[in-house]
A and B are shown apart, each in its own frame.
Chain A
C-alpha cells in the first residue's frame, strides 16, 4: 500500500505528553519523517531517520517505530506546539514519496 494513515485530530493538556501516530505498510521498511506546519508558515522538519532532530528542534520531540506504525512523541507539550503534523516515507512498492493525511494537535 502507498498510504500512510494518521488520526485527524489529537489533543493534549499543556505540559503533558502526546503521541501522534502514522500507520502504513511502507513503515515496516522505512522510517517516517515528521513535519510541523503552522498556519501561514512553511512546514518544518522535526524528526527524520531513526530519531534525529534537525538543529533547533527542541528535545521534547522524539520519534519511534514499531512494525507498521511510526510515532512522534512530544514530551511536555507547549502552547507553541499546537500545529498540524504530517508524516512521510517512501512508498514500499514504488520509488516515490508518500505522506500521511496530517494530525491537528490542540494543546489545551
Chain B
C-alpha cells in the first residue's frame, strides 16, 4: 500500500519561500507510470492543482503559479519537494502531495495534508 506523508513548517512569513517535502513509502518514486503532484486547498475553498514532477525531473506546473513554483525529486530518499516563493496570506492552505497517474489527471494516493499558514 502506497503511503505519502507531507512535512515542513506550518508557519511561513510573507514574502518568504514555502518549502514542503513528501515522503513516499510502500512504492518507488522511480516507477514509470506515475507523476508526483502537489495540490492545495484554501480554507473553505476547492482543491487547486499546483503541479507535478516525474522521477526523471521533468515538471508541469499550474500556469497561475508557475512563476513561483519549483519542484524537485530525490529518488535516493523516495521524496519529492515543493518550493513556493514570495508567499502571501493568499497562499495559506492545506497542502497535499499525491500520486498522479502518468498521462492522466487521476490521483490514486494522497497524503493527509499539512496546513501552512502565511503570517508575520
A45 touches B106 (CB 8 A): yes
Q: Which residues of A contact B49 (CB under 8 A)?
A: 88, 96-99
B106 touches A33 (CB 8 A): yes
Which 6 A-B pairs give the minimum distances between C-beta atoms?
A101-B46, A99-B47, A97-B49, A42-B110, A33-B106, A48-B106
- Give the distance to chain B from A20, nearest Cβ to Cβ, in Å: 14
* Known contacts A96-B62, A99-B48, A101-B46; is-contact A90 B105 (Cβ 8 Å): yes
C-beta contact mask, A71-103 vs B, less than 8 Å → 1, else 0?
Answer: 000000000000000101110001111111110
User: Could you list which residues of chain B lie within 8 angstroms of chain A, going by C-beta atoms?
Assistant: 4, 37, 39, 45-49, 51, 60-63, 96, 98, 100-101, 104-113
- Interface membership of A41, Cβ < 8 A: yes
- Interface membership of A61, Cβ < 8 A: no
C-beta contact mask, A51-76 vs B, less than 8 Å → 1, else 0?
Answer: 00010000000000000000000000
Q: Is the interface of B mostly helix, strand, loop or mixed?
A: strand
Q: Which residues of B contact A33 (CB under 8 A)?
A: 105-107
Q: Which residues of A contact B113 (CB under 8 A)?
A: 42
Interface centre among B37, B47, B61, B110 (most CB of A within 10 A): B47
A97 touches B112 (CB 8 A): no
B110 touches A43 (CB 8 A): yes
B63 touches A42 (CB 8 A): no
- Give the distance to chain B from A12, nearest Cβ to Cβ, in Å: 21
B108 touches A89 (CB 8 A): no
Q: Which residues of B contact A42 (CB under 8 A)?
A: 4, 96, 109-113
15 sample A-B contacts, Cβ–Cβ < 8 Å, listed by A number? A33-B106, A40-B112, A43-B98, A48-B108, A88-B105, A88-B106, A88-B107, A94-B63, A96-B62, A96-B63, A97-B49, A97-B100, A98-B49, A99-B49, A101-B45
A97 touches B46 (CB 8 A): no
